Amino acid sequence: MIYPVKTAVIGVGNMGKKRILVTGVGGSAGSNFIKSLRMAPEEYYLVGTDINKYHLELVEGLDKKYILPPVSDTTYIYRLNQLIALENIEFVHPQPDVEVQIQSQNRERIKAKTLLPAKEVVEICQDKINLNNRLQQENIPVPLSFHLKNNNDLESALSILLKIGEKAWLRATRGAGSKASLPVINLEQAEAWIKYWISVKGLNYTDFMISEFLPGKEFAWQSLWYEGEIITSQARERIEYVFGNLTPSGQSSSPSVAKTVHRYDVNQIATQAVKAISNKATGIFCIDMKENRQGEPCITEINCGRFFTTSNFFSEAGSNMPYYYVKMAYGEGMPLLPKYNAIPEGWYWIRMIDMGYKLIKGEQWTSQQM
């Protein structure tokens, strides 16, 4: 069976290779996206950009590397289009959230194909309190959350949340990498944390939200969609975190150990969440979930338009979603893929700074218990 993709087919570039530009490749997520495309059964001409010339030196698998200005620079789209023309780029994939946002807002000006969700969907997903409110209205499980405008709001929210549990989760309403996140146990801690980010990092009080602390297991659900239909997906549980031992919460947004899981509730809640924000969802939707005290997975955020950092985990395990995503962008049909549970459960992905990564198929450990 073939999925029809009703987009215009992009022309194939020089030497028969598709010419693809990936922005933000200097980070792990962009680099892993490149690794996934290099695992694909066809060759690509890959161009990568970043704002950091040092980080670009680490990225392998690119045919060309370029430095672009940050999205805050008014020439960003102009420079992007210059590069598109220079390299005859046909398709652009933005990996960092900030570039997803700017390219989404300016998609009509970009001189190459993109495969981003609708503008309003990107905006909803990138505003975590707006997303929380939207999903709550649709009766989709989310943590009880409050948008903060001042100290009175903070005090009022904490009086409710600290009756639910011994801590509350303070975070920024926008940004990746658990930006400005901290578990707090009293008003003084929360006030000091917000004050620090306002005075040192330039945030405003309204950039913060506070939620009930979810104590259970954490899941990351990665999926591809086309016109409201799910194409394929897979969930993983985050077991350990990169530098988790050094953070106040004991976790970060990136796992050092993750394993594939098959859970009906995770799949269904994630699917309902995507449909709640877009009845014609198209492109990439990656969802973070954590169990509440009753063991129910609650949506904490949706990252749309870009992949999770460890997209190459699933690619190495046999479900190369970046490759399928590129085929969709080029208007090519694909074989029927499993909508859920694309990879066997219980497969582990282990990664550490300066130690690389490894796929463990099941409990096939090389160590022995003493």
Task: List phi, psi (to 5°) of 212.
Answer: -65, 145
Specify the pLDDT at position 250: 60
Please list the rounded mean pLDDT of every run of 10 residues in the chain (370 residues): 33 71 96 98 97 96 97 98 98 97 98 98 97 97 98 97 96 83 95 95 94 96 97 96 65 84 98 97 98 97 96 97 97 92 97 91 89
Q: Which CATH architecture best describes the domain 145-212?
A: 2-Layer Sandwich (3.30)
Look at the domain 218-360 and name its fold. D-amino Acid Aminotransferase; Chain A, domain 1 (3.30.470)
Specify the pLDDT at position 245: 58
| Cα–Cα distance list, 171 to 97, 168, 250 (Å) | 17, 10, 15
Within 193-296, strands assigned E span 208-212, 218-226, 229-241, 255-261, 283-291
Specify the pLDDT at position 12: 45
Specify the pLDDT at position 15: 57
How far apart CA 10 and CA 243 sit, in angstroms, is 42
Domain ranges of the chain: 14-115, 145-212, 218-360
Q: Which two tokens stand for residue 215?
A: 């104590």
Specify the pLDDT at position 11: 44
Residues 6+ apart with CB under 8 A from 7: 113, 328, 329, 331
Residues 6+ apart with CB under 8 A from 17: 43, 44, 45
How far apart CA 141 and CA 283 sit, in angstroms, is 23
Q: Which two tokens stand for residue 107?
A: 């998609």
Look at the domain 14-115 and name its fold. Rossmann fold (3.40.50)
